Amino acid sequence: MIVERLMVGGFQENTFIIGCPETKEGAVIDPGTDADLILAQIDVLGLNVTKIINTHAHIDHIGAVEAIKQAKGAKFYIHKNEEPLVKAYDQQCRMFGVQFGSEPEIDGYIEEGETVEVGNLRASVIFTPGHSPGGICFHFGERIFVGDTLFMGSIGRTDLPGGSTEMLLNNIKTKLLVLPPETIVHCGHGPDTTIGREKDSNPFLTGGGMFGL
């Protein structure tokens, strides 16, 4: 599996370009901003990007979606519960005093239990709301892309509209920590980690944490 991480924008958000080495079909996960940088790296990798799949719709994760759609003809997919956040794109920008691209058009919705195909790659969709109303994770076997659900040593913030600390922690514990401990966790901000590491030492999951990021 081809996995390329690009840290973009002032929020230092992780955008992931993934690809199937056999078919060269690709997808972008959470293109936050810096569309030109993302597009240039897609070309370097030689991928045919057909999908943009998002874990959620906060502005630091969707700012480059529309530009990539227009440049590559890719379709944009997200959980239906995130649609209000997409529609409130300009309001989100004003709230944080930034402007990343323009509001993207949603092409389809992804639900828990569905499978996302990227060439010969298959990802199961795991519904993990709590950071946002329709947060989802993409589980590609030995890897999982979690957006802002879980970080190395932390969890996603829950003080934005639609957030719930109780819901987020429950989803992490019942849906993510049950995965094999060696599973690589690709986070929306910061470094990669593993399920085992977070299960053993994340203070928010072992009783010592006070707030998320």
For residue 212, is it within any domain? no
Distance of CA 12 to the CA centre of its chain: 13
Q: Which residues contact 2 (CB under 8 A, 6 or more apart)?
A: 17, 18, 19, 20, 21, 26, 45, 47
For residue 52, is it within any domain? yes
CATH number for position 30: 3.60.15.10
Q: How confident is the model at residue 213 (pLDDT cuts 50, 70, 90)?
A: very low
Whether 118 has a pLDDT exceeding 90, the answer reads yes
Q: Which residues contact 118 (CB under 8 A, 6 or more apart)?
A: 18, 19, 20, 25, 26, 27, 50, 51
Q: What is the pTM of this model?
A: 0.94
For residue 159, is it within any domain? yes
Q: What is the pLDDT of residue 21?
A: 98
For residue 164, is it within any domain? yes
CA distances from 45 to 38, 68, 119 (A): 11, 15, 15
Copy the structure tokens of residue 199: 């299960």
The predicted-structure confidence for 161-195, as pLDDT tens digits, reads as follows 889 999 999 999 999 999 999 999 999 999 999 99
Q: Which domain range does residue 188 map to?
A: 2-206
Q: Percent of the chain beyond pLDDT 90?
A: 87
Q: What is the dihedral of CA 168, 173, 174, 179, to 10 degrees?
A: 120
CB atoms within 10 A of CB 157: 17
For residue 7, is it within any domain? yes
Question: What mean pLDDT do residues 64-86 have?
Answer: 97
For residue 213, is it within any domain? no
Q: How confident is the model at residue 99 (pLDDT cuts 50, 70, 90)?
A: confident
Q: What is the pLDDT of residue 210?
A: 52
Domain tally for the chain? Answer: 1
Q: How confident is the model at residue 44 (pLDDT cuts 50, 70, 90)?
A: very high
Question: What mean pLDDT do residues 130-143 have?
Answer: 97
